[in-house]
Amino acid sequence: MTAIIIDGKRVSSSIIQAVKSAAARLESEKNLRPGLAVVIVGDDPASHAYVKSKGRMASECGFNSIQHTLPRETTQGELSSLVAVLNQDKDVHGVLVQLPLPKHLNAEEIIQSILPHKDVDGLHVVNAGKVATGDLDGGLISCTPAGAMVLVRSIHGSDLSGLNAVVIGRSNLFGKPMSALLLAANATVTTAHSRSKDLPNICRNADILVAAVGRPEMVKAEWVTPGTTVIDVGINRVPSSEGKTRLVGDVAFAECAEHAGAITPVPGGVGPMTIAMLMANTVIAAYRAAG
Ligand code: GUN
Pick the catalytic residue from 54, 118, 130, 176.
54
Q: Is 24 part of a structural domain of the chain?
A: no
Contacts 24+ apart (CB under 8 A), 48-53: 50/98, 51/98, 53/275
pLDDT for the residue numbered 245: 93
Domain assignment present for 190: yes
Domain membership flag for residue 242: yes
Going from the Cα of 113 to the center of ligand 1, the distance in angstroms, rounded, reads 16
- Beta-sheet strand order (sheet of 64-70): 64-70, 35-41, 94-97
* Alpha-carbon gap, residue 13 to 15, rounded angstroms: 5
92 and 152: one domain?
no
Q: Out of 119, 121, 207, 232, which one is annotated catalytic?
A: 121
The bridge status of strand 188-192 relative to strand 164-168 is parallel
Q: Taking Cα atoms as reference points, which of 249, 214, 282 lies closest to residue 8? A: 249
Same-domain check for residues 206 and 247: yes
Q: What is the CATH number of the domain that holds 43?
A: 3.40.50.10860
* Cross-strand partners of 17: none
**Which residues make Cβ contacts (< 8 Å) with residue 140, sequence separation at least 6?**
116, 117, 119, 120, 121, 122, 127, 281, 284, 285
**How much is the average pLDDT of 50-68?**
98
Residue 103 annotated in active site: no
> Across all residues in the chain, what is the average pLDDT?
97
Distance CA 33, CA 92 (A): 9
Is 67 designated active site? no
Which residues lie below 8 Å from residue 221, measured CB to CB, with a gap of 6+? 252, 255, 256, 258, 259
Average pLDDT over residues 125-150: 98
Q: Which residues pair with 192 in a beta bridge?
A: 168
Q: What is the mean pLDDT of residues 159-185?
A: 97
Average pLDDT over residues 204-211: 98
Q: Which atom of ligand 1 is least distant from the CA of 111?
A: 9
In a domain, 5, yes or no: no
pLDDT of residue 241: 86
Whether residue 1 is predicted with pLDDT greater than 80 in this model: the reply is: no
155 in any annotated domain: yes
Give the structural domain span for 107. 30-115
Domain containing 190 — which CATH number?
3.40.50.720
89-103 average pLDDT score: 98
Cα of 98 from ligand 1 centre, angstroms: 5
Ligand 1 atom at minimum distance from 143 CA: 6
Give yes or no: 98 in active site: yes
Would you say residue 107 lies in a domain? Answer: yes
Residues 256 and 153 in one domain: yes
User: To the nearest whole percent, how much of the chain has pLDDT over 70?
Assistant: 100
Q: How many angstroms does the Cα of residue 188 sit away from the middle of ligand 1? A: 27
Question: Ligand 1 center to residue 134 CA distance, Å?
Answer: 23
Q: In this predicted model, what pLDDT tens digit does every residue of 242-258 receive, in sequence order? A: 889 999 999 999 999 99
Give the C-alpha separation, 37 to 199, whole Å: 40
Rounded percentage of the chain residues whose pLDDT exceeds 90: 98
Q: How far apart are CA 126 and CA 173, in angstroms?
A: 14
Provide mean pLDDT across the span 50-73: 98
Q: Which of 97, 98, 176, 273 should be mutated for ligand 1, with most atoms under 8 A from CB? A: 98
- Ligand 1, atom 3, lies closest to the CA of 99
- Select from 38, 50, 51, 123 the residue to mutate for testing ligand 1; criterion: most ligand atoms less than 8 Å from CB: 50
Residue pair 282/54 in contact by the 8 Å Cβ criterion: no
- Give distance in angstroms: CA of 275 to centre of ligand 1: 10
Query: Known binding site for NADP(+): residues?
Result: 169-171, 235
Does residue 105 sit in the same domain as residue 168?
A: no
Ligand 1 pocket check: which of 53, 101, 142, 173 to mutate, most ligand atoms within 8 Å of Cβ? 173
Q: Return the exposure string of 40-73: e unless at least 16 CB atoms fall within 10 Å of the residue's CB, then b.
A: bbbebeebeebbeebbebbeebbbbbbebebeee
ipTM score over 0.90, yes or no: yes
- Would residue 79 count as lying in a domain? yes
Q: Do 110 and 207 share a domain, yes or no?
A: no
Q: Who lines ligand 1 at CB under 6 A?
A: 96-99, 121, 143-144, 274
Instruction: Please indicate whether residue 200 or residue 243 has the higher confidence score (pLDDT).
Output: 200
C-alpha separations of 156 from 9, 79, 112, 178 in Å:
19, 43, 34, 16
Measured distance CA(62)–CA(65) in Å, rounded: 9
pLDDT digits (tens, 9 = 90+) for 250-286: 999 999 999 999 999 999 999 999 999 999 999 999 9
How many structural domains is the chain composed of?
2
DSSP state of 251: B
